[in-house]
């Protein structure tokens, strides 16, 4: 009888460990699943922390299993029979409506797709196919631009050289003249990282990265950077997952989100500094270019943003100029980065006017959380 009791007790324990998600919890999980079917560790931890408030049995393992089952379920289900519905033609008014949505985002979300179906009367398959063809059309046009022109073009209409005055210890600058030899300077550049885990990722070109180089070709610098990242990740992974967790945030983002750099998107920002010069004071261990790199990463919420904020005080006198550079490069940033810059622009303007009256957007937790809510659930907490 004792053996029978043990079996019953074990069965009871298994039943106790089983997690049943409520409708609200499933709704939260589905919203995350719609954005990314293979979420990063940070996203799983975030979901677990939210749900654990009302469901104490939930942990990251349970969340991972939910996503695994959700991904596997469609393949096990029998395919539905296609309904022979008459498809509406793509008239100019319907195409205009689709184009308007496309300008906002090249990757239509489930919510936006439903809205377009209601507005145009088109079938879901028609809207999906239209967006796929439209993106292919864009990529064809982009491929016609030669690599050299993209490598050498500097969008910044007022490129500058910054250095430290040895007598005062303060940053000074001068305008870079056309034709000036910049080979001896450090150069700041941005590039894009693409999602490679899924065939049709909604967040394509999902991350903007900021780096610097001594090379004269931004594309070559981005290619070299990607080779270095792949080599470093390979070495880290050979040591195990705990080594990866302790690695730099830049590499962690690449691994967790399944990203790969797209060197052809690299652009110089028109920010130069002497290679040998080192800033004084709080930034005594930093080369000047590092200060600008971290300023832009914080401003763009760029890949690998995890650093002390000393650069903000040092570069505040140049904040208005640096913001003007950011706005010139909007179309060369990832869509999510552009949306962040547009949302945070009013606060950045207030910060430039008086830093004691407004917080720098990239370090304002409330503003960043508000942006994430809008991105994940199309819900702006500021409106309620």
**Mean pLDDT taken over the chain:** 78
More confident residue, 181 or 368: 368
Domains and CATH numbers, the chain: 19-72 (1.10.10.60), 92-141 (1.10.10.60), 147-383 (no CATH)
Phi/psi for 57 (5° steps) reads -80, -10
Q: How confident is the model at residue 95 (pLDDT cuts 50, 70, 90)?
A: confident
Between CA 223 and CA 201 the distance in angstroms is 23
Q: Please classify residue 261 by burial: count the beta carbons closer than 10 Å to its beta carbon, then call 0-12 exposed, 13-18 middle and 19+ buried.
A: buried
Give the HSE-up count for residue 137: Cα atoms under 13 Å, Cβ half-sphere.
Answer: 9
The 10s digit of each residue's pLDDT in 156-171 is: 989 999 988 888 888 9
pLDDT at 237 over 50: yes
Q: Where are the alpha helices (DSSP H) in 18-123?
A: 23-35, 41-51, 60-76, 92-104, 110-120
**Radius of gyration in angstroms for the set of CA atoms belonging to the chain, rounded to a whole number:** 25
Which tens digit of pLDDT belongs to each residue from 269-328?
999 998 865 544 444 445 789 899 999 999 999 987 766 678 899 999 999 999 999 999
DSSP letters along 135-172, please?
Answer: HHHHHHHHHTS-HHHHHH-B--SS-EEEEE-TTT--EE
Average pLDDT of the segment spanning 79-83: 49
User: Residue 60 and residue 45: Cα distance in Å, rounded?
Assistant: 6
Neighbours of 3 (CB within 10 A): 7
Strand order in the sheet with 171-175: 171-175, 160-164, 259-274, 185-195, 207-213
Q: What is the pLDDT of residue 105?
A: 76
Helix (H) or strand (E) holding 319: helix 319-328
Contact between 371 and 344 under an 8 Å Cβ cutoff? The reply is yes
Q: Does residue 99 surpass a pLDDT of 80?
A: yes
Question: Of 16, 78, 70, whose CA–CA distance to 47 is shortest?
Answer: 70
177: confidence class by pLDDT, cuts 50, 70, 90: confident
pLDDT in tens, 180-222: 888 889 999 999 988 765 444 444 567 899 999 988 889 999 9
HSE, side-chain direction, 13 A CA sphere, residue 345? 11
The Cα–Cα gap between 55 and 351 comes to 41
Give phi and psi for 173, each to the nearest 5: -150, 165
What pLDDT was estimated at residue 285?
Answer: 43
Q: Which residues contact 321 (CB under 8 A, 6 or more apart)?
A: 158, 160
Separation between Cα atoms, residue 63 and residue 319, nearest integer Å: 42
């Amino acid at each position: 009888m004792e053996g029978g009791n043990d079996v019953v007790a074990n069965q009871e324990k298994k039943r106790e460990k089983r997690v049943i998600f409520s409708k609200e919890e499933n709704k939260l999980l589905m919203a995350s699943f719609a954005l990314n079917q293979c979420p990063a560790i940070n996203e799983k931890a975030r979901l677990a922390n939210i749900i654990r408030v009302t469901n104490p049995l939930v942990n990251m393992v349970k969340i991972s299993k939910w996503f695994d089952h959700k991904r596997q379920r469609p393949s096990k289900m029998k395919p539905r029979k296609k309904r022979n519905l008459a498809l509406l033609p793509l008239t100019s008014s319907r195409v205009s409506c689709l184009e308007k949505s496309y300008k906002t985002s090249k990757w239509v979300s489930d919510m936006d797709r439903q809205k377009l179906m209601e507005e145009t009367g088109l079938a879901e398959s028609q809207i999906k196919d239209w967006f796929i063809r439209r993106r292919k059309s864009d990529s064809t046009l982009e491929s016609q631009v030669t690599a050299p022109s993209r490598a050498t073009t500097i969008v910044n209409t007022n490129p500058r050289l910054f250095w430290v005055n040895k007598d005062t210890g303060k940053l000074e600058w001068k305008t870079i003249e056309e034709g000036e030899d910049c080979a001896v300077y450090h150069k700041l550049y941005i590039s894009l990282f693409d999602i490679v885990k899924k065939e049709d990722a909604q967040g394509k070109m999902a991350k903007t990265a900021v780096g610097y180089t001594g090379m004269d070709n931004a594309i070559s610098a981005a290619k070299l950077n990607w080779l270095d990242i792949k080599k470093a990740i390979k070495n880290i992974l050979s040591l195990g997952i705990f080594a990866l967790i302790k690695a730099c945030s830049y590499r962690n983002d690449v691994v967790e989100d399944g990203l790969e750099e797209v060197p052809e998107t690299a652009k110089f920002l028109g920010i130069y500094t002497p290679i040998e010069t080192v800033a004084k004071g709080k930034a005594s261990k930093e080369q000047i270019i590092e200060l600008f790199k971290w300023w832009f990463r914080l401003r763009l919420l760029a890949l690998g943003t995890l650093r002390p904020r000393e650069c903000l005080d040092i570069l505040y006198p140049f904040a208005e100029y640096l913001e003007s550079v950011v706005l010139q490069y909007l179309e060369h940033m990832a869509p999510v980065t552009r949306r962040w810059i547009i949302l945070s622009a009013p606060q950045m303007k207030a910060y430039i006017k008086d830093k004691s009256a407004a917080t720098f957007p990239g370090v304002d937790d409330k503003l960043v959380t508000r942006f994430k809510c809008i991105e994940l659930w199309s819900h702006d907490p500021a409106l309620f």
